[in-house]
Amino acid sequence: MVGTAPAAEEKALEAALRPKALEDFVGQATVRNQLSLVLQSSRMRSTAADHVLLSGPPGLGKTTLAMIIAAEMNAALRITSGPAIQHAGDLAAILSSLTDGEVLFIDEIHRMSRPAEEMLYMAMEDFRVDIIVGKGAGATSIPLELPPFTLVGATTRAGLLPGPLRDRFGFTGHLEFYSTQELHQVLRRSAGMLDMRVSEEGFAEIASRSRGTPRIANRLLRRVRDWALVHGVDQVDRTAASQALDTYEVDARGLDRLDRAVLEALCTKFKGGPVGLSTLAILVGEETETVETVAEPYLVREGLLARTPRGRVATDAAWQHLGLTPPAQDSQ
Ligand code: ADP
Protein backbone atom coordinates (compact mmCIF):
# COMPACT_ATOMS: atom_id res chain seq x y z
CA MET A 1 0.00 0.00 0.00
CA VAL A 2 1.27 3.47 -0.82
CA GLY A 3 0.09 6.40 1.28
CA THR A 4 1.21 9.93 0.52
CA ALA A 5 3.29 10.76 -2.56
CA PRO A 6 7.01 10.83 -1.64
CA ALA A 7 7.56 14.51 -2.52
CA ALA A 8 4.47 15.49 -0.55
CA GLU A 9 5.66 13.44 2.42
CA GLU A 10 9.09 15.10 2.34
CA LYS A 11 7.47 18.54 2.17
CA ALA A 12 5.11 17.72 5.03
CA LEU A 13 8.03 16.48 7.11
CA GLU A 14 10.05 19.61 6.39
CA ALA A 15 7.08 21.73 7.46
CA ALA A 16 6.56 19.67 10.61
CA LEU A 17 10.22 20.10 11.60
CA ARG A 18 10.12 23.89 11.35
CA PRO A 19 10.47 25.57 14.73
CA LYS A 20 7.33 27.59 15.48
CA ALA A 21 8.68 30.01 18.10
CA LEU A 22 11.80 32.14 18.37
CA GLU A 23 12.94 30.21 21.44
CA ASP A 24 12.94 26.93 19.45
CA PHE A 25 14.98 28.47 16.66
CA VAL A 26 18.48 27.07 17.09
CA GLY A 27 21.62 29.20 16.66
CA GLN A 28 21.88 32.62 14.95
CA ALA A 29 22.01 34.16 18.43
CA THR A 30 22.71 37.69 17.21
CA VAL A 31 19.85 37.83 14.72
CA ARG A 32 17.52 36.05 17.15
CA ASN A 33 18.22 38.49 20.00
CA GLN A 34 17.95 41.57 17.81
CA LEU A 35 14.76 40.34 16.21
CA SER A 36 13.29 39.45 19.56
CA LEU A 37 13.76 43.08 20.69
CA VAL A 38 12.17 44.45 17.51
CA LEU A 39 9.12 42.19 17.94
CA GLN A 40 8.78 42.72 21.66
CA SER A 41 8.88 46.48 21.28
CA SER A 42 6.27 46.45 18.49
CA ARG A 43 4.01 44.31 20.64
CA MET A 44 4.39 46.77 23.53
CA ARG A 45 3.55 49.66 21.23
CA SER A 46 0.72 47.71 19.56
CA THR A 47 2.05 48.48 16.09
CA ALA A 48 3.03 46.31 13.15
CA ALA A 49 6.71 45.33 13.38
CA ASP A 50 9.23 47.23 11.30
CA HIS A 51 10.13 45.70 7.92
CA VAL A 52 12.73 42.93 8.14
CA LEU A 53 15.32 41.87 5.57
CA LEU A 54 16.91 38.43 5.99
CA SER A 55 19.89 37.45 3.91
CA GLY A 56 22.00 34.33 3.64
CA PRO A 57 22.43 31.10 1.68
CA PRO A 58 19.45 28.75 1.11
CA GLY A 59 18.22 26.47 3.88
CA LEU A 60 19.45 28.54 6.84
CA GLY A 61 16.01 29.49 8.15
CA LYS A 62 14.80 32.65 6.39
CA THR A 63 11.30 31.30 5.64
CA THR A 64 11.14 29.76 9.10
CA LEU A 65 11.95 33.13 10.69
CA ALA A 66 9.27 34.86 8.60
CA MET A 67 6.73 32.35 9.91
CA ILE A 68 7.97 32.86 13.45
CA ILE A 69 7.67 36.66 13.09
CA ALA A 70 4.02 36.28 12.06
CA ALA A 71 3.34 33.83 14.88
CA GLU A 72 5.04 36.03 17.50
CA MET A 73 3.08 39.06 16.28
CA ASN A 74 -0.12 37.03 16.23
CA ALA A 75 -0.54 38.14 12.64
CA ALA A 76 -1.60 36.50 9.41
CA LEU A 77 1.15 35.57 6.95
CA ARG A 78 1.15 35.92 3.17
CA ILE A 79 3.93 34.18 1.26
CA THR A 80 5.10 35.09 -2.22
CA SER A 81 8.38 35.38 -4.09
CA GLY A 82 10.23 37.88 -6.27
CA PRO A 83 9.95 35.85 -9.49
CA ALA A 84 6.16 35.62 -8.97
CA ILE A 85 5.89 39.42 -8.97
CA GLN A 86 6.74 40.41 -12.50
CA HIS A 87 4.31 43.30 -12.95
CA ALA A 88 3.54 46.15 -10.60
CA GLY A 89 -0.10 45.01 -10.90
CA ASP A 90 0.79 41.64 -9.32
CA LEU A 91 2.17 43.46 -6.31
CA ALA A 92 -0.73 45.93 -6.18
CA ALA A 93 -3.16 43.00 -6.02
CA ILE A 94 -1.29 41.47 -3.09
CA LEU A 95 -0.79 44.74 -1.20
CA SER A 96 -4.39 45.88 -1.58
CA SER A 97 -5.69 42.66 -0.07
CA LEU A 98 -3.47 42.73 3.04
CA THR A 99 -5.18 42.92 6.40
CA ASP A 100 -4.16 45.09 9.35
CA GLY A 101 -0.76 43.98 10.74
CA GLU A 102 -0.35 41.14 8.23
CA VAL A 103 3.17 39.86 7.54
CA LEU A 104 4.05 39.75 3.85
CA PHE A 105 6.96 37.43 3.09
CA ILE A 106 8.70 37.94 -0.25
CA ASP A 107 11.30 35.26 -0.87
CA GLU A 108 14.07 35.99 -3.39
CA ILE A 109 13.13 39.65 -3.19
CA HIS A 110 16.14 40.60 -5.35
CA ARG A 111 14.39 38.98 -8.31
CA MET A 112 11.36 41.25 -8.31
CA SER A 113 10.81 43.40 -11.40
CA ARG A 114 11.88 47.04 -11.35
CA PRO A 115 8.37 48.60 -11.56
CA ALA A 116 7.15 46.35 -8.74
CA GLU A 117 10.19 47.30 -6.69
CA GLU A 118 9.41 51.00 -7.10
CA MET A 119 5.82 50.45 -6.04
CA LEU A 120 7.12 48.65 -2.98
CA TYR A 121 9.18 51.69 -1.88
CA MET A 122 6.11 53.78 -1.33
CA ALA A 123 4.12 50.92 0.17
CA MET A 124 6.85 50.25 2.73
CA GLU A 125 7.35 53.87 3.68
CA ASP A 126 3.93 55.48 3.47
CA PHE A 127 1.60 52.44 3.42
CA ARG A 128 0.18 53.72 0.19
CA VAL A 129 0.34 52.77 -3.48
CA ASP A 130 -0.60 54.65 -6.63
CA ILE A 131 -2.56 52.46 -8.98
CA ILE A 132 -2.29 53.55 -12.61
CA VAL A 133 -5.53 53.19 -14.52
CA GLY A 134 -5.64 53.53 -18.31
CA LYS A 135 -2.81 54.09 -20.78
CA GLY A 136 -0.95 56.95 -22.46
CA ALA A 137 -2.21 60.52 -22.06
CA GLY A 138 -5.47 59.35 -20.48
CA ALA A 139 -3.77 57.40 -17.68
CA THR A 140 -4.62 58.51 -14.17
CA SER A 141 -3.18 57.41 -10.89
CA ILE A 142 -5.45 56.52 -8.03
CA PRO A 143 -3.89 56.59 -4.57
CA LEU A 144 -4.78 53.65 -2.38
CA GLU A 145 -4.22 53.58 1.37
CA LEU A 146 -2.86 50.32 2.77
CA PRO A 147 -3.23 48.94 6.28
CA PRO A 148 0.02 48.87 8.28
CA PHE A 149 1.86 45.64 7.46
CA THR A 150 5.28 44.10 8.00
CA LEU A 151 7.33 43.17 4.98
CA VAL A 152 9.80 40.35 5.49
CA GLY A 153 12.15 40.09 2.53
CA ALA A 154 14.54 37.20 2.02
CA THR A 155 17.50 37.18 -0.29
CA THR A 156 20.53 35.06 -0.97
CA ARG A 157 22.26 38.17 -2.27
CA ALA A 158 21.80 41.27 -0.14
CA GLY A 159 24.41 43.01 -2.27
CA LEU A 160 22.12 42.84 -5.30
CA LEU A 161 19.31 44.81 -3.67
CA PRO A 162 19.16 48.42 -4.78
CA GLY A 163 20.12 50.86 -2.00
CA PRO A 164 16.69 52.53 -1.80
CA LEU A 165 15.02 49.17 -1.15
CA ARG A 166 17.63 48.03 1.38
CA ASP A 167 17.34 51.32 3.26
CA ARG A 168 13.61 50.91 3.76
CA PHE A 169 14.04 47.86 5.95
CA GLY A 170 14.13 48.81 9.63
CA PHE A 171 16.03 45.65 10.52
CA THR A 172 18.46 43.55 8.51
CA GLY A 173 19.66 40.17 9.71
CA HIS A 174 22.35 38.13 8.03
CA LEU A 175 22.13 34.39 8.65
CA GLU A 176 25.43 32.53 8.94
CA PHE A 177 26.17 28.85 8.37
CA TYR A 178 25.51 26.82 11.54
CA SER A 179 28.24 25.27 13.67
CA THR A 180 28.34 21.48 14.04
CA GLN A 181 27.12 21.87 17.63
CA GLU A 182 24.11 23.90 16.50
CA LEU A 183 23.26 21.36 13.81
CA HIS A 184 23.58 18.68 16.46
CA GLN A 185 20.85 20.49 18.40
CA VAL A 186 18.64 20.81 15.27
CA LEU A 187 19.05 17.08 14.64
CA ARG A 188 18.28 16.09 18.22
CA ARG A 189 15.04 18.05 18.09
CA SER A 190 14.08 16.61 14.68
CA ALA A 191 14.92 13.03 15.69
CA GLY A 192 12.61 13.43 18.68
CA MET A 193 9.81 14.52 16.38
CA LEU A 194 10.50 11.68 13.94
CA ASP A 195 10.68 9.17 16.80
CA MET A 196 14.20 8.09 15.85
CA ARG A 197 16.83 6.72 18.21
CA VAL A 198 20.25 8.17 17.47
CA SER A 199 23.31 8.19 19.74
CA GLU A 200 25.13 11.46 20.45
CA GLU A 201 27.98 10.28 18.21
CA GLY A 202 25.50 9.42 15.49
CA PHE A 203 24.15 12.98 15.64
CA ALA A 204 27.69 14.37 15.54
CA GLU A 205 28.44 12.37 12.40
CA ILE A 206 25.32 13.60 10.59
CA ALA A 207 25.90 17.17 11.80
CA SER A 208 29.45 17.25 10.48
CA ARG A 209 28.23 16.26 7.03
CA SER A 210 25.33 18.73 6.89
CA ARG A 211 27.16 21.59 5.17
CA GLY A 212 26.36 24.06 7.95
CA THR A 213 22.70 23.99 6.85
CA PRO A 214 19.66 22.87 8.91
CA ARG A 215 17.64 21.95 5.81
CA ILE A 216 20.40 19.55 4.77
CA ALA A 217 20.75 18.22 8.33
CA ASN A 218 17.04 17.33 8.38
CA ARG A 219 17.24 15.80 4.92
CA LEU A 220 20.23 13.63 5.84
CA LEU A 221 18.46 12.57 9.03
CA ARG A 222 15.53 11.32 6.95
CA ARG A 223 17.92 9.43 4.66
CA VAL A 224 19.59 7.86 7.69
CA ARG A 225 16.14 6.90 8.92
CA ASP A 226 15.46 5.11 5.61
CA TRP A 227 18.78 3.30 5.84
CA ALA A 228 18.21 2.26 9.46
CA LEU A 229 14.71 1.01 8.72
CA VAL A 230 15.81 -1.11 5.78
CA HIS A 231 18.85 -2.47 7.62
CA GLY A 232 16.86 -3.21 10.78
CA VAL A 233 19.03 -0.87 12.86
CA ASP A 234 17.22 0.24 15.97
CA GLN A 235 19.67 2.80 17.34
CA VAL A 236 21.81 4.81 14.91
CA ASP A 237 25.41 5.14 16.13
CA ARG A 238 28.39 6.78 14.43
CA THR A 239 29.17 3.75 12.25
CA ALA A 240 25.57 3.36 11.09
CA ALA A 241 25.28 7.09 10.34
CA SER A 242 28.50 7.14 8.37
CA GLN A 243 27.64 3.97 6.43
CA ALA A 244 24.22 5.40 5.61
CA LEU A 245 25.63 8.71 4.42
CA ASP A 246 28.38 7.04 2.40
CA THR A 247 25.59 5.23 0.55
CA TYR A 248 24.14 8.60 -0.40
CA GLU A 249 27.55 9.94 -1.48
CA VAL A 250 27.63 12.72 1.06
CA ASP A 251 31.31 13.15 1.74
CA ALA A 252 32.89 13.50 5.17
CA ARG A 253 32.97 17.27 4.83
CA GLY A 254 29.37 17.49 3.65
CA LEU A 255 30.20 18.69 0.14
CA ASP A 256 27.47 17.94 -2.35
CA ARG A 257 27.59 17.24 -6.07
CA LEU A 258 27.78 20.91 -7.08
CA ASP A 259 30.45 21.78 -4.50
CA ARG A 260 32.62 18.94 -5.72
CA ALA A 261 31.99 19.74 -9.38
CA VAL A 262 33.15 23.33 -8.80
CA LEU A 263 36.35 22.24 -7.06
CA GLU A 264 37.04 19.52 -9.60
CA ALA A 265 36.57 21.90 -12.53
CA LEU A 266 38.89 24.41 -10.88
CA CYS A 267 41.62 21.88 -10.14
CA THR A 268 41.50 19.57 -13.14
CA LYS A 269 40.63 22.04 -15.90
CA PHE A 270 42.40 25.18 -14.71
CA LYS A 271 45.22 23.94 -12.49
CA GLY A 272 43.47 25.50 -9.51
CA GLY A 273 42.66 28.88 -11.10
CA PRO A 274 42.19 31.78 -11.08
CA VAL A 275 39.03 31.35 -13.14
CA GLY A 276 36.18 33.78 -13.70
CA LEU A 277 32.86 32.91 -12.08
CA SER A 278 30.90 32.67 -15.33
CA THR A 279 33.44 30.29 -16.92
CA LEU A 280 33.25 28.13 -13.83
CA ALA A 281 29.44 28.13 -13.96
CA ILE A 282 29.41 27.04 -17.60
CA LEU A 283 31.84 24.22 -16.84
CA VAL A 284 29.64 22.78 -14.11
CA GLY A 285 26.45 23.39 -16.11
CA GLU A 286 24.82 25.75 -13.61
CA GLU A 287 23.60 29.34 -13.53
CA THR A 288 26.24 31.83 -12.38
CA GLU A 289 23.92 32.90 -9.54
CA THR A 290 23.59 29.31 -8.28
CA VAL A 291 27.34 28.83 -8.16
CA GLU A 292 27.79 32.19 -6.45
CA THR A 293 25.02 31.90 -3.86
CA VAL A 294 24.73 28.17 -3.24
CA ALA A 295 28.16 26.54 -3.69
CA GLU A 296 30.65 29.34 -3.13
CA PRO A 297 29.73 30.63 0.33
CA TYR A 298 30.23 27.21 1.88
CA LEU A 299 33.42 26.44 -0.05
CA VAL A 300 34.84 29.80 1.05
CA ARG A 301 33.84 29.19 4.66
CA GLU A 302 35.49 25.78 4.57
CA GLY A 303 38.68 27.34 3.22
CA LEU A 304 38.48 25.30 0.01
CA LEU A 305 38.01 28.18 -2.40
CA ALA A 306 39.23 31.77 -2.41
CA ARG A 307 37.82 34.75 -4.25
CA THR A 308 40.56 36.92 -5.71
CA PRO A 309 40.40 39.97 -7.97
CA ARG A 310 41.54 37.73 -10.84
CA GLY A 311 38.97 35.01 -10.23
CA ARG A 312 38.26 31.94 -8.14
CA VAL A 313 41.17 29.91 -6.82
CA ALA A 314 41.28 26.42 -5.28
CA THR A 315 43.22 26.37 -2.00
CA ASP A 316 45.70 23.69 -0.94
CA ALA A 317 42.94 22.23 1.23
CA ALA A 318 40.79 21.78 -1.89
CA TRP A 319 43.50 19.76 -3.66
CA GLN A 320 43.94 17.70 -0.53
CA HIS A 321 40.21 17.12 -0.16
CA LEU A 322 39.93 15.85 -3.73
CA GLY A 323 43.01 13.65 -3.25
CA LEU A 324 44.88 15.48 -6.02
CA THR A 325 48.39 16.90 -6.17
CA PRO A 326 48.64 20.62 -7.00
CA PRO A 327 50.93 21.47 -9.94
CA ALA A 328 54.43 22.64 -8.98
CA GLN A 329 54.61 26.42 -8.50
CA ASP A 330 56.52 28.47 -11.08
CA SER A 331 59.72 29.45 -9.29
CA GLN A 332 60.45 32.84 -10.79
P1 ADP B 1 15.45 29.29 3.83
O2 ADP B 1 14.14 30.01 3.74
O3 ADP B 1 16.55 30.13 4.38
O4 ADP B 1 15.85 28.63 2.54
P5 ADP B 1 14.00 27.54 5.62
O6 ADP B 1 13.48 28.49 6.63
O7 ADP B 1 13.03 27.01 4.62
O8 ADP B 1 15.30 28.09 4.90
O9 ADP B 1 14.61 26.31 6.47
C10 ADP B 1 14.77 25.03 5.94
C11 ADP B 1 14.49 23.95 6.99
O12 ADP B 1 15.53 23.99 7.95
C13 ADP B 1 13.19 24.19 7.74
O14 ADP B 1 12.24 23.21 7.40
C15 ADP B 1 13.52 24.01 9.21
O16 ADP B 1 13.02 22.78 9.66
C17 ADP B 1 15.01 23.91 9.28
N18 ADP B 1 15.59 25.04 10.05
C19 ADP B 1 16.08 26.18 9.52
N20 ADP B 1 16.59 26.96 10.49
C21 ADP B 1 16.44 26.28 11.64
C22 ADP B 1 16.81 26.56 13.01
N23 ADP B 1 17.45 27.68 13.34
N24 ADP B 1 16.49 25.67 13.94
C25 ADP B 1 15.87 24.50 13.60
N26 ADP B 1 15.52 24.18 12.34
C27 ADP B 1 15.81 25.04 11.37
Q: What is the CATH number of the domain that holds 189?
A: 1.10.8.60
pLDDT in tens, 234-249: 999 999 999 999 988 8
To the query of whether residue 62 is one of the catalytic residues in this protein, the response is: yes
Residue/partner pairs of 27-31 with CB below 8 Å, 24 or more apart: 27/178, 27/179, 27/182, 27/185, 27/186, 28/60, 28/61, 28/173, 28/175, 28/176, 28/178, 30/173, 31/65, 31/173, 31/174, 31/175
Residue 57 Cβ < 6 Å to ligand 1: no
pLDDT in tens, 181-240: 999 999 999 999 999 999 999 999 999 999 999 999 999 999 999 999 999 999 999 999
Instruction: Examine the fold and report which residue of 157, 174, 191 is the final residue of a domain before the chain moves on.
Output: 174
Q: Of the listed 63, 150, 213, 293, which one is catalytic?
A: 63
Give the chain's mean pLDDT.
92
pLDDT-based confidence at residue 303 (cuts at 50, 70, 90) = very high
CATH code for the domain of 279: 1.10.10.10
Percent of the chain that is helix, strand, coil (3-state, to 5): 55, 15, 30
Asked if the structure places residue 42 within a domain, the reply is: yes
**Site to substitute for ligand 1 among 24, 64, 181, 183, most atoms within 8 A of C-beta:** 64
Residue 315 has pLDDT above 80, yes or no: yes
Do 31 and 157 have their domain in common?
yes
Instruction: Examine the fold and report which residue of 142, 174, 206 is the final residue of a domain before the chain moves on.
Output: 174
> pTM of the entire structure?
0.90
Share of the chain above pLDDT 70, in %: 97
Asked if the structure places residue 5 within a domain, the reply is: no
Asked if the structure places residue 10 within a domain, the reply is: no
Give alpha helix (H) positions in 60-152: 62-72, 88-96, 114-126
Contacts of 226 (CB under 8 A, 6+ apart): 244
What are residue 107's DSSP bridge partners?
81
pLDDT-based confidence at residue 10 (cuts at 50, 70, 90) = confident
pLDDT in tens, 121-161: 999 999 999 888 888 888 888 899 999 999 999 999 888 88
Do 56 and 143 have their domain in common?
yes
Residue 60 Cβ < 6 Å to ligand 1: yes
Q: How far apart are CA 248 and CA 233, in angstroms?
A: 17
CATH code for the domain of 132: 3.40.50.300
Contacts of 59 (CB under 8 A, 6+ apart): 213, 214, 215, 216
Q: Of the listed 209, 215, 219, 225, which one is catalytic?
A: 215
Residue 332 has pLDDT above 70, yes or no: no
To the query of whether residue 156 is one of the catalytic residues in this protein, the response is: yes
Do 186 and 167 have their domain in common?
no
Asked if the structure places residue 328 within a domain, the reply is: no
Do 221 and 264 have their domain in common?
no
Do 133 and 275 have their domain in common?
no
Distance 65 CA to ligand 1 centre (A): 8
To the query of whether residue 310 is one of the catalytic residues in this protein, the response is: no
Asked if the structure places residue 331 within a domain, the reply is: no
Using an 8 Å Cβ cutoff, are 113 and 87 in contact? yes
Residue 218 Cβ < 6 Å to ligand 1: yes
Question: Residue 185's closest CA among 204, 169, 209?
Answer: 204
Do 81 and 158 have their domain in common?
yes
ipTM over 0.90: yes
Do 154 and 201 have their domain in common?
no
Do 170 and 264 have their domain in common?
no
* Identity at 153, one-letter amino acid code: G
Torsion sign, CA atoms 26, 27, 29, 34: negative
To the query of whether residue 215 is one of the catalytic residues in this protein, the response is: yes
Residue 202 Cβ < 6 Å to ligand 1: no
Strands 103-107 and 128-133: unpaired
pLDDT of residue 256: 87
To the query of whether residue 269 is one of the catalytic residues in this protein, the response is: no
Distance 213 CA to ligand 1 centre (A): 8
Asked if the structure places residue 16 within a domain, the reply is: no
Q: Of the listed 155, 156, 293, 315, which one is catalytic?
A: 156
Using an 8 Å Cβ cutoff, are 98 and 146 in contact? yes
Do 184 and 170 have their domain in common?
no
Residues in the chain: 332
Domain of residue 62 covers: 21-174
Do 170 and 68 have their domain in common?
yes
pLDDT of residue 93: 93
Do 159 and 32 have their domain in common?
yes
Asked if the structure places residue 96 within a domain, the reply is: yes
pLDDT of residue 304: 97
Residue 177 Cβ < 6 Å to ligand 1: no
Give alpha helix (H) positions in 197-269: 200-208, 214-230, 238-247, 257-264
Q: What is the enclosing helix (H) or strand (E) of 77?
A: strand 77-81
pLDDT of residue 331: 47
Asked if the structure places residue 231 within a domain, the reply is: yes
